[in-house]
Structures are given as C-alpha cells and as structure tokens.
Amino acid sequence: MDALTQKIVANTYVDREGFKATNPWFESLKQRGLYPDAVAMDGEISVLRAIRTVWPKAQVQRCLFHVQREGMRWLRTHPKTQAGQELKELLSTLCYVKSFKERTTFIQAFEQWLERYGQFVQSLPQTEVAFKDLKRTIVLIKNALPDMFRYFGHSLPATTNALESFYSRLKADYRRHRGLSLMNRIQYLKWYCYYKNSNTS
C-alpha cells in the first residue's frame, strides 16, 4: 500500500508469509520499477530480510503498534516484577511519540530502564515463562529501536494501521466466500484491491 495515497500498489496470494514467498515477489516489483525510499512494516524477520535483500537502500520503519502490542502481550496484564511494570508503562507511551523531543525522551527512558534493571532481569530464572517473556520484550525493543522512528525523516506513517484496517475488512469479506476455488480466490483478491483503489480515487 502507498502510505501517502493509501492505494494498493500490488498484491499477491500466498499460503504463508515469509522470505520464500516475498523475495521473488519483491524482485518482480523491482523489475517493474518499484524502488521505495522507505517501507513501513511489522517485525516479520523473513520479510524484513527480503526487503533488505531486494531494496538495500530503502529505510525501514517498524510499525510502532506492532512493537507495542507484542511487548504488552509478553509483559501480560499484571507483570510480576517492578521492572516489568515500569517497562509496560514505558511501552504504553510508544504510539504517542509525535516529536523529536518525545522520541529522545522515550529512548533515554528505555536506556535508563536498562541501566536500572538490566542485570536484575538477566538474573531471573529461565524456568519461569513470564521472566523469559520479559527478556523477549527487551530484545524486541532493542532490535526494533534503530528503525522505530524513521517516520520523522520520511513521508510515511509510524504504523501500518491503514493497511491492517484494509486487510481486516478483506478477511471479513473473504470468509463469506470460503467455497471458492484457488483460482477464484486469487481473482477475488485482485478485484477486491481494484475496487478499493477505485473508491480511494
């Protein structure tokens, strides 16, 4: 989806999202002249690898909502530790970062949290699932942080919410046609995107 116009640039029907499916698709889009300056996406590692393989110069914007949602899910409704509670509170502010000052505040707050709780979290027993997920949340934020605030320098959104919203409507409508053959399912997707673009114009 084009982040500025919210038009569907291209679509493909695959059994499973991953490098094997997306890399050749991206290559075909590149051959047709698509050279994005920046790409907003979720954190699917294999798709990220495909993007960086085909368009190595494209900036990547990690969807803030996906980072926040995944981290909050791992931290659970009621974190067992003070460290988890404070990290969850920090994550809850992520999607509200709207200025360079707020970006700096978030990064500094996370770095201070690491200084305060980093060693403590590493000392927690691996046998406890909640503690393992707390460590996973730290890794999630660390890996995403270099690409979380690209939207300040590019004309692209901080999240993939527009695309996710379209995809949710597509899935809801698609479920009413589960009896279609594979070929007709592919055609359904193409026509659905075509009419979406017509309504966007």
Query: Does position 28 have pLDDT exceeding 90, yes or no?
Result: yes
Report helix angle 82-91 to 64-75, nearest 10. Answer: 160
Instruction: State the average pLDDT for the chain.
Output: 95
145-187 pLDDT, tens digit per residue, is 999 999 998 888 999 999 999 999 999 998 888 889 999 999 9
Decide if 88 contacts 72 (C-beta within 8 A).
yes
pTM of the complete model: 0.91
35: DSSP letter: -
Q: Is 1 exposed, middle or buried (0-12, 13-18, 19+ CB in 10 A)?
A: buried
63-98 pLDDT, tens digit per residue, is 999 999 999 999 999 999 999 999 999 999 999 999
Torsions phi, psi for 62 (to 5 deg) = -75, 130
Q: Is 153 exposed, middle or buried (0-12, 13-18, 19+ CB in 10 A)?
A: exposed
Q: Is 103 exposed, middle or buried (0-12, 13-18, 19+ CB in 10 A)?
A: middle
Tokens of 125: 């027993």
